[in-house]
C-alpha cells in the first residue's frame, strides 16, 4: 500500500489509513529516541517536515533492519499511536528511510484513525461559504434554534472532501454539553431537516471541537447566521443616513434569516 500512495492517489491513501486503523493488522515499529519499550521515560523520535511534527516509525521487522536504527523500538498498533499523537498535533511518518522518503500521515488523519475513518471526511478538504440558496431551511432552523435555549449560535460551511460527495456542514455552538442540552439540540435538528432539499447531504459539527478542521475554518471564516446573544442585545440608536451614504447590509441573527452570506 505504501508503494501505491502518490500525491494524486487519494483512494490508495485511504486504503493505507484503513490498514493502519485495523487492530493487530496495523502494527508498526515505533522508533524510540530515549528509553526502552514500556519504560516510563520512553520517548518517540521527532521529525519536522515543512513546519509540522511527525513521529517516525517503520512498518515491519525487515524495514527496521533496512533502516539501520540502532536504538530501542516498540511494536504497537497504529490505532493506539494515533490516539496518543494527534492531541499534540503530531503526525506519523512511515518508513522515512525508504526510497522516496516514505509516507507522512498528518495529525488530522491520525485523528480520523483514532475516532473512526467513516465519521470524518477524507482530506484534504476544500472549505467555502455555501453557495446553494435554501432560505426556507435556514429560516426554519433559526426559528427552532431560537426555541432551544441550549444553543448559542449556528454557522455553516460547504465541505468538499478529497473523496466522497460535498455536503453542507452546520456548526452548533452550545452553552453546555449536558445530556439534556445535547438532546434538545438533537431534537431541534430533527425538527428542521424536513426542510432540506432532497439529495442535499447535511452534517453537523460541535464548535467546541478544537481538532475538527471544519470547526477551525468556521471559527476563522464563517460569521454566525443565527446568534442568540446578538438577537437579545438591546437595539442601538440609529443615525439618519445622508443621501450619499449606502444603506447598511442586513444583520445576522433571528429574525430574519436568508440563504446567503
Q: Which fold has domain 2-119?
A: Trna Endonuclease; Chain: A, domain 1 (3.40.1350)
Euclidean distance between CA atoms 149 and 218, whole angstroms: 22
Question: Is residue 257 over pLDDT 60?
Answer: no
pLDDT in tens, 175-208: 988 999 999 999 999 999 999 999 999 999 999 9
Percent of the chain with pLDDT strictly greater than 90:
75
pLDDT at 231 over 60: yes
Under CATH, which number does the domain 126-232 receive?
A: 3.30.300
Tens-place pLDDT, residues 66-114: 999 999 999 999 999 999 999 999 999 999 999 889 999 999 999 999 9
How far is it, in rounded angstroms, from Cα 245 to Cα 98?
65
Is 0.85 topped by the overall pTM?
no
* Contact in structure between 55 and 90 (CB atoms under 8 Å): yes
Could you give phi then psi for residue 30, rounded to 5 degrees?
-80, 130
CB 131 within 8 A of CB 199: no
For residue 257, count CB atoms less than 10 angstroms from its CB and return exposed for 0-12, middle for 13-18, buried for 19 or more: buried
How far apart CA 167 and CA 184 sit, in angstroms, is 24
- The grid coordinates listed for 67 are 533502516
- Confidence at residue 254, expressed as pLDDT on a 0 to 100 scale: 24
Give ranges for CATH 3.30.300 in the chain. 126-232
Separation between Cα atoms, residue 98 and residue 66, nearest integer Å:
8
Cα first-last separation, the chain: 43
Start-end ranges of CATH 3.40.1350.90 in the chain?
2-119
Q: Under DSSP, is residue 64 helix (H, G, I), strand (E, B) or coil?
A: helix
Q: Whose CA is closest to 110, among 139, 83, 76?
A: 83
> Among 29, 5, 18, 212, which residue's Cα sits nearest to residue 104?
5
pLDDT digits 0-9 by tens, 9-28: 899 999 999 999 998 788 99
Amino acid at each position: 500500500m505504501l508503494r501505491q500512495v502518490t500525491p494524486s492517489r487519494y483512494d490508495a491513501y485511504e486504503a493505507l489509513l484503513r490498514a493502519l486503523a485495523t487492530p493487530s493488522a496495523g502494527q508498526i515499529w515505533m522508533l524510540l529516541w530515549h528509553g526502552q519499550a514500556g519504560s516510563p521515560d520512553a520517548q518517540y523520535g521527532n521529525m519536522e517536515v515543512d513546519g509540522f511534527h511527525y513521529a517516525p516509525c517503520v512498518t515491519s521487522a525487515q524495514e527496521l533492519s533496512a533502516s539501520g536504527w540502532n536504538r530501542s523500538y516498540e511494536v504497537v498498533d497504529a490505532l493506539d499511536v494515533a490516539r496518543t499523537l494527534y492531541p499534540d498535533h503530531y503526525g506519523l511518518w512511515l518508513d522515512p528511510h525508504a526510497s522516496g522518503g516514505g509516507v507522512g500521515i498528518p495529525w488530522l488523519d491520525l485523528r480520523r484513525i483514532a475516532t473512526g475513518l467513516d465519521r470524518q471526511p477524507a482530506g484534504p478538504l476544500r472549505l467555502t461559504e455555501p453557495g446553494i440558496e435554501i432560505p426556507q431551511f435556514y429560516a426554519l432552523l433559526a426559528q427552532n434554534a431560537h426555541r432551544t435555549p441550549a444553543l448559542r449560535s449556528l454557522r455553516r460551511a460547504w465541505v468538499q472532501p478529497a473523496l466522497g460527495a460535498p455536503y453542507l456542514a452546520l456548526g452548533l455552538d452550545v452553552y453546555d454539553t449536558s445530556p439534556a442540552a445535547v438532546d434538545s439540540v438533537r431534537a431541534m435538528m430533527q425538527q428542521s431537516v424536513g426542510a432540506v432539499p432532497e439529495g442535499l447531504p447535511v452534517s453537523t459539527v460541535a464548535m467546541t471541537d478544537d481538532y475538527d478542521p471544519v470547526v477551525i475554518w468556521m471559527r476563522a471564516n464563517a460569521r454566525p447566521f443565527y446568534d442568540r446573544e446578538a438577537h437579545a442585545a438591546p437595539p442601538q440608536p440609529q443615525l439618519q443616513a445622508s443621501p450619499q451614504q449606502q444603506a447598511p447590509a442586513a444583520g445576522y441573527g433571528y429574525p430574519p434569516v436568508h440563504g446567503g452570506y
